[in-house]
Amino acid sequence: MLTIYSDDHHLHHGKYELIDGQLTPCFEKPSRADMVLARAQKVKLGEVVAPREFGLAPILRVHDEGFVHFLKDAWAEWQAMGRDYDMLPFTWPNRRLRQTIPDCIDGKFGYYSFDAGVPITAGTWQAVSSSVNVALTGQAELAKGARGVFSLCRPPGHHAAADYMGGYCYFNNAAIAAQAMLDQGASRVAILDVDYHHGNGTQDIFYDRGDVLTVSIHGDPVQEYPYYIGFADETGEGAGLGANLNLPLPWGSDFQAWSAALDQGLDRIRSFAPDRLVVSLGVDTFQDDPISHFLLQSTDYPQIGAKIAALGVPVLFVMEGGYAIEAIGVNAVNVLKGFEAARG
């Protein structure tokens, strides 16, 4: 399988995030992508190529223009305040506060984010832009006739909505790729999110649209981040009614329970009959992931790839979560190898 990868991800390396009530060294760090790339090369998954440059136009098909320009200019505005350390937001426009965009960089950051897991550094803009290019290059290869492509994106994207960032995510790589597929002639696209955490940004972007089906298997938001979205009764609205399927599972779910949810999601995708499938490939469902609570084992992941392959549609795998343990490479590549073996 072809892998798309850019070294630019190393330019984004935040020092701290706010998690569990304390400032903690970031779980989302360059070694994540490095581990996955090393594993792909070790098992000879296939050729690794650099992404093409696509510019802002595909990003603006999904993301709010003001948000995009905030992210582009944020570091310069931060430095203009005399600050040379990482940016983190600390104030958000909560209930009954005015939904206006302040002039001050701190206020802007709060307006365009929903948590303190999105540090911005000197290299963040280049890294997130390149991550989008990695996803778009993958979808371009599908357009040429590839049946499966792996876009090794970092930073990840599925928590980013059209006009806000959060959960380590800045631009929604999977959503941008899906929109590009539609713009290039696909009638229907499905997005299957297998990350441990709900793909809130992806759901939000497509919630009122019927041309994109979003399916997410994730930790139940009554227990798990992002807490306020991802419930089973969220099925879409307007033209998108019925085009969103959430399959929340409790802490401690093993592969038997998780696989049953996957089967349900794949059945829904089959009935939707998409021209293309985007898989938000998070492997933080692993039993030893440091910030997650499912119990999947490395030997389970090839079965996930095989089940996805059985759909028989072209698939773009877009890297999402899985945190700072060597098994992230084994598990992500196991999905891809299982897919390839089943496709033959």
State the catalytic residues: 159
Q: Which residue has the tokens 């959960």?
A: 167
Q: Which of 53, 56, 23 is nearest to 176 (CA)?
A: 56
- Strands in 212-219's sheet, in edge-to-edge order, are 48-49, 2-4, 148-151, 315-319, 276-281, 189-193, 212-219, 244-249
Residue 36 makes CB contacts below 8 A (sequence gap 6+) with 152, 319, 322, 328, 329, 332, 333
User: What are the CA-CA distances from residue 219 to residues 10, 204, 264, 294 (Å)?
Assistant: 29, 18, 16, 8
| Residue 319 to residue 200: CA distance in whole angstroms | 16
CA dihedral 134, 195, 335, 178 (to 10 degrees): -40
User: What are the CA-CA distances from residue 245 to residues 242, 260, 272, 296 (Å)?
Assistant: 7, 14, 12, 22
Q: Are 243 and 273 in contact (CB under 8 A)?
A: no
The 8-class DSSP code of residue 171 comes to S
Helix, strand, or coil (residue 151): strand
